[in-house]
Structure 1
Amino acid sequence: MRLLVLSLVLSLAAQALAALEIEDRRLFGPPEAARQLRILSTTDIAIFAPRIESYLSLTPDLAIDYVVASSTEVMKVASAARAPFDLVISSAMDLQTKLANDGFVRRHSSEVTRDLPAWASWNDMVFAFSQEPAAIVVSDAAFADTGIPRSRQDLIDVLRRNPERFRGKVGTYDVRASGLGYLFATQESRVSETYWRLTEVMGGLGARLYCCSSEMIDAVAEGELLVAYNVLGSYALQRQDAGISIILPSDFTTIMLRTAVIPETATEPALAGDFLDHILAQAFGDDPSLSVDRWLSNSEMALSRINLGPGLLVYLDQLKRAAFDTEWTNAILQD
């Protein structure tokens, strides 16, 4: 009977993985390991690998199957009846909060989580291990004669004065497809009307729409774009040598919390909790490369941190989402 149950579980897990649009995947540790931790994440392997390797150095008999997918795909699989993962990591903190609110997440409490600052966890279910800014990435060559813009208004002014230069050369998220893009857009629109003015200007220039930060940053580095708006600063740092500048807007910089949750369907919840404690201890420790505070050293930045909690669910309401999508579409698609 136990073998039959195990076979059924593995079959269901295989079906869920087959339905998932995987962007990347890597097995860390020995393939023959007796235990395996399965992680579903929106974070690129190169960004997250140091945390995994650090943990495996302490637990050499373990393997970690790390699967990368879009935030929309992550939400779809994590809310399935048989999600075959032990830990879910996402940059779309509103979707993570919805998973918890809808009963798809286990509670986790430990000495590490009890010492977290209040803003870094919600209801012992959603845990933040990084604070990351939404940045503007620009081509240095494109702004050689105008100077690098330091605020959204600066960028609006340059784009309006040089429409032919920037036509078809500005990129941003397609908020209809990107969970992170939707989160940035909705939260930014609550802070300032400048967001809508800039969106209309980008739309008038035939803005190109993307799913992911890495694609936009690569496009700037390769000359396909001259401006990428609202990309993840941590990803942009990987391309600092590519003739690009990373702008943290001086009017306000939106700060996203990258979060982790343990699904209710996890088959290794204790192991997931131990790994979670490890990355949280790293994040709130002294390692400057992993510390959640590494972005806050610039005192000139006006920070606008997106807070965990039920307030994130407001724009996930179907009617509010439909209204926002319509307004955004009218602003960005002006054909």
Structure 2
Amino acid sequence: MAALVLAVMLVGCAPKPAGQATSAWDVSAAQREGELVVYMNSDGHEDVTDGFQRRFPKIKVRLVTLTSVKIRERLIAETQAGKPVADVAWSSTMDIQVKLINDGYAQTYRSPEAKGLPTWAVWRDQGFGVTAEPIVFAYNKKLLNEAEVPRSHAALLAALRADPDRWRGKIAMYDPERSGLGFMYMSGDLQVYPDAQAMYDALAGSEPGLFVVGSSMLNSLTDQHVMVFGLTQTFAEWWARRRNPDLGYVVPSDYQLLISRVAFITRSAPHPKAARLFLDYLMSDEGQRRLAQSGLPPIRSVGGATALGLGARPIRIGPALLANFDQGRRTELLDTWRAALKQ
């Protein structure tokens, strides 16, 4: 009993990190755990993880980069086998994250930092969206005249209809059948754009290059395709800065799907307190600044909610995304897509 009282007293004396609302108890426990494993589906988070490591040097961070589908498969397999799993799963494929949460692979954490997020970005105190990223059109400045670049979804549909030969074999996109992102983008477009089905039919008829990996898709712009349909602004900016300065992008003027990278603490996290500390860091003022430095649009500005543009259509984190896993709906959408590809 005396040892327990002493431990409580020591934690009560432990300083909370400045600018972060994590409890002193969780901070001390996280530092004793000393390790954090994060499964994520993209690179480019150096500023964020470096910032966390500088703030909490006693915690060793290990990042494992996987596709969103592989994150799901690995997390399920490791949990069912009783093997060590990641502490945090962090991915831009929102529907897969929601499915994992709904199926019981996440644990609840009433984060004191979550109050700074918009309501659409938090679900069941388990899934937390920490970025706000528009989906854009990307293009190769050397291969496509700027005047030809469609500036909206409506303009893209009109261009495909007016001159199909011009675009045949020239557009790259995520494969809705094999890519989690590709299916999520298609599903999102169909929910917010009345002419989305006609647009996807026209895209299918243009004999597009279909990809699962975003880097392969963008590499194809150098010699094969002139335009990418459906890419986060974040990835486009990072690619232009690091890989190909000839890459340009357009934020569609009629509407922009807005995705958020969703993070959650896994149900069997070996280091749950370190996971809490990392989630709170991502949502804190410093974490949001670090995300911005990494080229990831933060979900809020420091001290307040992010002001979204008039055309922003945020994809809400929650049960509506589970419709993407309804086999009847999925089969119907993909059958329509396959039929358009064959025409």
Structure-1 residue corresponding to 2:326: 317
Deviation at 1:213, TM superposition (A): 2.6
Spell out, residue by residue over 1:91-129, the C-alpha distance to the aligned partner (whole angstroms, 9 max, x if none): 111111111111111111232124433222111100011
In structure 2, the CA distance between the partners of 1:283 and 1:313, relative to structure 1 (3 Å rule), is: farther
Q: Moved runs in structure 1, 4+ residues, more than 6 A?
A: none
- Is 1:250–2:253 an aligned residue pair? yes
- Determine if contact 1:213/1:232 at 8 Å carries over to the other structure: no
Match of 2:315 among 303, 306, 310: 306
- Is 1:292–2:292 an aligned residue pair? no
Q: Distance in 2 between matches of 1:42 and 1:144?
A: 32
Say which SS state the counterpart of residue 324 (structure 2) adopts: helix
Deviation at 1:286, TM superposition (A): 5.3
Say which SS state the counterpart of residue 130 (structure 2) adopts: strand
Q: Distance in 1 between matches of 2:95 and 2:262?
A: 10
Structure 2 unmatched runs, 5+: 1-31
Say which SS state the counterpart of residue 225 (structure 2) adopts: coil
Deviation at 1:58, TM superposition (A): 1.3
For residues 65-84 of structure 1, what are the structure 2 equivalents within 5 Å? 65-80=62-77, 81=80, 82=82, 84=85
Structure-2 residue corresponding to 1:156: 157
In structure 2, the CA distance between the partners of 1:124 and 1:224, relative to structure 1 (3 Å rule), is: same
Spell out, residue by residue over 1:31-88, the C-alpha distance to the aligned partner (whole angstroms, 9 max, x if none): xx983211111122xx212110000001223221111111111111222323511100
Q: Distance in 1 between matches of 2:99 and 2:47?
A: 28
- Is 1:334–2:342 an aligned residue pair? yes
- Determine if contact 2:34/2:274 at 8 Å carries over to the other structure: no
Q: Distance in 1 between matches of 2:238 and 2:307?
A: 19
Deviation at 1:166, TM superposition (A): 2.5
Structure-1 residue corresponding to 2:207: 206
Deviation at 1:135, TM superposition (A): 0.9
Q: Distance in 2 between matches of 1:178 and 1:164?
A: 27
Q: Distance in 1 between matches of 2:130 and 2:280?
A: 10
- Determine if contact 1:41/1:89 at 8 Å carries over to the other structure: yes
- Determine if contact 1:169/1:226 at 8 Å carries over to the other structure: yes
Segment drifting more, 234-243 vs 260-269:
234-243
Q: Distance in 2 between matches of 1:223 and 1:230?
A: 19
**Residue type of the alignment partner of 2:228:** A
- Determine if contact 1:106/1:264 at 8 Å carries over to the other structure: yes
Say which SS state the counterpart of residue 65 (structure 1) adopts: strand
**Residue type of the alignment partner of 2:342:** Q
Structure-2 residue corresponding to 1:110: 111
Structure-2 residue corresponding to 1:18: none
Structure 1 unmatched runs, 5+: 1-32
Q: What is the RMSD computed on CA atoms of the aligned residues? A: 2.4
Match of 1:270 among 265, 273, 276: 273
**Residue type of the alignment partner of 2:192:** V
Spell out, residue by residue over 1:261-313, the C-alpha distance to the aligned partner (whole angstroms, 9 max, x if none): 1111110011011011001114785565352258x7784x5111100111111
In structure 2, the CA distance between the partners of 1:123 and 1:62, relative to structure 1 (3 Å rule), is: same
**Residue type of the alignment partner of 1:334:** K
Q: Distance in 2 between matches of 1:169 and 1:134?
A: 19
When normalised by structure 2's length, the TM-score is 0.80
For residues 1-335 of structure 1, what are the structure 2 equivalents within 5 Å? 35-44=34-43, 47-80=44-77, 81=80, 82=82, 84-144=85-145, 146-220=147-221, 222-240=222-240, 242-282=245-285, 285=288, 288-289=292-293, 291-293=298-300, 299=309, 301-331=310-340, 333-334=341-342
**Residue type of the alignment partner of 1:95:** I
Deviation at 1:193, TM superposition (A): 3.4
Report sequence identity in percent.
Answer: 25
Spell out, residue by residue over 1:193-221, the C-alpha distance to the aligned partner (whole angstroms, 9 max, x if none): 3222222222222111001333222322x
Q: Distance in 2 between matches of 1:147 and 1:232?
A: 21
- Determine if contact 2:204/2:337 at 8 Å carries over to the other structure: no
Q: Distance in 2 between matches of 1:111 and 1:297?
A: 22
Q: Distance in 2 between matches of 1:87 and 1:150?
A: 37
Q: Distance in 2 between matches of 1:284 and 1:166?
A: 42
Deviation at 1:142, TM superposition (A): 3.9
Of structures 1 and 2, the one scoring higher in RCO (CA 8 A, sep 6+) is: 2
In structure 2, the CA distance between the partners of 1:205 and 1:131, relative to structure 1 (3 Å rule), is: same
Deviation at 1:317, TM superposition (A): 1.3
Deviation at 1:145, TM superposition (A): 7.3
Deviation at 1:239, TM superposition (A): 3.1
Q: Distance in 2 between matches of 1:145 and 1:237?
A: 17
Deviation at 1:89, TM superposition (A): 0.5
